[in-house]
Amino acid sequence: MNAIARGLVRGTMSSGLVCVWVLLGVLALSGCRGGPEMVSAPVKGFNHTSAEIMRFTINDAGGPRILPNQGGGNEVCCSILPLKWTPGLQARIEWDKDPDPYGEVQRDKFGQIDKVAYANHSVNFSHHSAIIEIPEYSENVCALQVHFFPCDQVSVSTTCFTPKHPNYPDQGYFGIKETMKCPHL
């Protein structure tokens, strides 16, 4: 094969490869998806306990730290949900809590937390996880609201209303009282 013929064959093969790559790119961008259309939702937390929720995640999206019996003030972006709710839709919640959030931890002469004192305090920290159903929502998802309750129980809401609104569906959560003992669940 002469040099001109080799150049033509090589040019044909490289332009063929270019066509294959262009075709693959077009297919990737054309909307060939394996799953449902998704929407982002900010994450907000409410703590209905005397412990501090030091950190939490919902489907691996982080949530804000929540002091005892507080919450709703901070949102963290974002978790994702399918645009359309389907029965059986679940969320995996993980959280760490400090049962003694106001316990005194010694500091050194420079105001830094003493590592030994903190290690002694952190012995009582606990890690929890739960898989729960996400309630039905419309196409307007305003936030994923995670509620932490006594006895390491958790719930999720997707409402667009704030707790002070008369149509807020989770008003009863704010009246829950802690007991000294939790039943075995």
User: Would you place residue 109 in the very low, low, confident or very high pLDDT band (cuts 50, 70, 90)?
Assistant: confident
Residue 171, domain member (yes or no) = yes
| Same domain assignment for residues 9 and 84 | no
Domain extent for 138 = 38-175
| Same domain assignment for residues 85 and 168 | yes
Average pLDDT value for residue range 72-101: 88
For the cut 60, the answer to whether the pLDDT of residue 21 exceeds it is no
Number of other residues whose CB lies within 10 A of the CB of residue 97? 22
| Same domain assignment for residues 8 and 61 | no
pTM for this one?
0.71
**Model pLDDT for residues 117-138, shown as the tens digit of each residue:** 888 888 889 999 999 999 888 7
pLDDT at 164: 78
User: Would you place residue 64 in the very low, low, confident or very high pLDDT band (cuts 50, 70, 90)?
Assistant: confident
| Same domain assignment for residues 77 and 20 | no
